[in-house]
Each structure stands twice: as C-alpha cells, then as structure tokens.
Amino acid sequence: MESVPNLREILLDEEINEQEFIEIISCIYKKDCYIYVVIPEWEQELLNELSSDFIEVNKFSLPRIFSREMALLEYIKDSEKRYIYEFYLQSTTMDYLVFSETDASELLRKMKDLNIFKMFEVNKIPHLSIGPDGQWLTVVEF
C-alpha cells in the first residue's frame, strides 16, 4: 500500500520579518536545513548575491518553446539558517525552491528533469515549499 504524504500549511503574516520566519523554520528543522533551488542561468547573478556557498548539482534545459536557456540545480546546507529568509523573499520569482533537513544531493544528481518536488515526493523525503506570493508554507511529511 502506498503511503500518502501528510500535508500541513502554515499561514504567514504579510509583514513577516526575518526573525519570525527563521523561528518558524527552526521549529520545523531544528538542526540542518538544506535549500534546493533551480536558478535560470540569466539569474546567476542573483544566486551569486545570495551565496557563493551553493553547490551546483545538475544543469537542465528550460522548457521554453523558442529558446535553449539553461537552469542550474543547486543546493546549500544552511545549518545557521542564514539564507532561508533571503530565499523566502525571492520565492515569488523562483519556480523550484525546496527546504528540507535531508541531504538529497545524490538523488538530485540523477534527476532527468526540473521537477524537484516530484523527486522529493517519489523518494518520500520530508520537505517544505513556499506558496504563491509567500502567503504560506507547505510542509510535506511521510
């Protein structure tokens, strides 16, 4: 029998500040927090601004009709939770952004497409994503 993920949504205040956001994430991930993100190459400057500590895992062609743009799948182990708020602020412009306390880097290296959410679900890895416009967090547990 296939296990069904347990989904929980945490509503966020429109004016949430960095300390409040980090407290929420720290309640969910007490120790390590990995940030997994797909950044289009044209946004590489943004990634460089956020952190030079990211590790590139894979490179994908973006599914665009008339272009051959590439995207980088990267991650960082953010034990001090220094970058999570910055990524929360950028989440409205990023299609693929996942937080987890699990190191999934080896699974990410084997991926054939951009859908990191599917990879986390198929492998039953607990994770967290940010809803549209940063209004809520979706916590997925197995």
Residue type, 141: E
Q: Which of 56, 26, 22 is nearest to 41 (CA)?
A: 56
Sort residue 26 into left (φ over 0), alpha (ψ -120 to 50) or beta: alpha
For the stretch 50-74, pLDDT in tens is 667 889 898 888 776 556 788 889 9
- For residue 129, what are the β-bridge partners? 138
Report d(CA 24, CA 1) in Å as an integer.
33
| pTM reported for the whole predicted model | 0.89
d(CA 1, CA 63) in angstroms, rounded, equals 34
Burial class (CB in 10 A: 0-12, 13-18, 19+), 36: buried
pLDDT in tens, 73-116: 999 999 999 999 999 998 888 888 999 999 999 999 998 888 89
Instruction: Residue 107: name the closest of 91, 124, 94, 95 by CA.
Output: 124
